[in-house]
């Protein structure tokens, strides 16, 4: 593919790093009118992963949408990553995806065969998830953007929320941090092929395999780690009533990402996440590279799971069968001065 055909050409940002920062988004959402409907069990008031609408017979519908511009120049790989990322919200809320609709913004300068590759990559992941593609919508745009609207289902009493952790529960992260920094280094021509392969493998892996292990382990809260970075997502988990003691030494990290962060190969989204977190914890005693990994925007990141401490080790063993870098990274404690506390 020559430069004119590059799907990265003209893109100012890619993946979840292209999203609004959490502070700006929160300000906008506060100004929107609230919708009152007894069947709407989860809306946008808690910054949860998806909307949940109660159906009859103890079942509910989970609805989400996610799309972004590319972070990799391979159209099929981009399609897989975007689809895995869109599906993740359903898994984070304890649901099973059923039907997906493609969302496409496509530049006229690119061959239409590129679009075919993107859609085929997305379809591969939808098929792996056991769901179906039912259609979609497309428009022309200066940048390529792709994602999906996904609908899933769950038993109403088994829906997981992002802000209901129980004190004493262990916190598990199912995928390693660092994909945003690695892809930033790649765009600067500084990343090794091995590092990029690790990041791409992680972003393409469905959270299906971690989510299907959760039932029966006393999970009190769950979310997925995406563009806001680990720390901002932990703020969502803690809400106003809890804090988390984070074991910095236990964090799963793609090793090369630490070195790239130390060389200041960073992302603008990471800096927005740092600003948002400023009043919620003190990272100053941590090494600079580790700080950046905590703020690093993750595209198709792992699940952040709060589970009964007595069962956490058994749950972790189950999760590691498919997500070998998963780790217990902390525990939920009563609310302290800061939402996130560091040990280790």
Active site residues: 16
The two three-digit tokens of residue 47, written as one number: 């910054």
- The residue assigned the tokens 């690093």 is 296
Gap between the Cα atoms of 268 and 214, Å rounded: 34
Give the largest Cα separation in the chain, rounded: 56
Contact 206, 199 (CB under 8 A): no
Distance of CA 83 to the CA centre of its chain: 12
DSSP secondary structure letter of residue 95: -
Contact 102, 148 (CB under 8 A): yes
The neighbour count for residue 282, using CB atoms within 10 Å, is 13
3-state helix, strand, coil in the chain (%, to 5): 40, 25, 40
């Amino acid at each position: 593919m020559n430069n004119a055909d590059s799907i990265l050409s003209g893109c100012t940002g890619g993946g979840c790093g292209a999203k609004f920062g959490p502070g700006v988004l929160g300000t906008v959402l506060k100004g929107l009118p609230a919708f009152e409907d007894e069947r709407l069990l989860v809306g946008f008031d808690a910054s949860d992963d998806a909307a949940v609408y109660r159906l009859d017979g103890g079942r509910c519908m989970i609805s989400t949408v996610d799309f972004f511009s590319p972070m990799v120049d391979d159209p099929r790989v981009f399609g897989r990553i975007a689809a895995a990322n869109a599906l993740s919200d359903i898994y984070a809320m304890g649901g099973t995806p059923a039907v997906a609709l493609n969302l496409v913004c496509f530049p006229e300068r690119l061959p239409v065969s590129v679009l075919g590759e993107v859609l085929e990559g997305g379809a591969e992941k939808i098929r792996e998830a056991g769901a179906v593609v039912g259609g979609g919508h497309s428009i022309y745009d200066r940048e390529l953007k792709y994602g999906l609207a996904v609908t899933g289902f769950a038993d109403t009493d088994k829906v997981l929320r992002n802000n209901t952790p129980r004190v004493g529960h262990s916190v598990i992260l199912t995928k390693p941090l660092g994909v945003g920094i690695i892809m930033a280094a790649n765009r600067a021509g500084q990343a090794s092929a091995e590092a990029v392969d690790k990041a791409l493998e992680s972003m393409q892996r469905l959270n299906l395999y971690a989510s299907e292990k959760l039932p029966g382990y006393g999970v009190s809260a769950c979310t997925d780690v995406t563009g806001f970075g680990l720390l901002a997502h932990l703020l969502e988990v803690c809400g106003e009533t809890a804090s988390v003691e984070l074991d910095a030494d236990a964090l799963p990290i793609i090793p090369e990402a630490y070195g790239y962060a130390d060389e200041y190969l960073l992302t603008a989204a990471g800096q927005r996440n740092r600003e948002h977190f400023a009043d919620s914890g003190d990272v100053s005693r941590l090494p600079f590279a580790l700080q950046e990994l905590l703020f690093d925007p993750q595209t198709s990141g792992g699940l952040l799971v709060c589970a009964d401490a007595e069962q956490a080790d058994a749950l972790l063993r189950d999760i590691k069968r498919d997500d070998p870098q998963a780790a217990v990274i902390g525990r939920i404690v009563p609310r302290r001065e800061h939402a996130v506390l560091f040990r280790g």
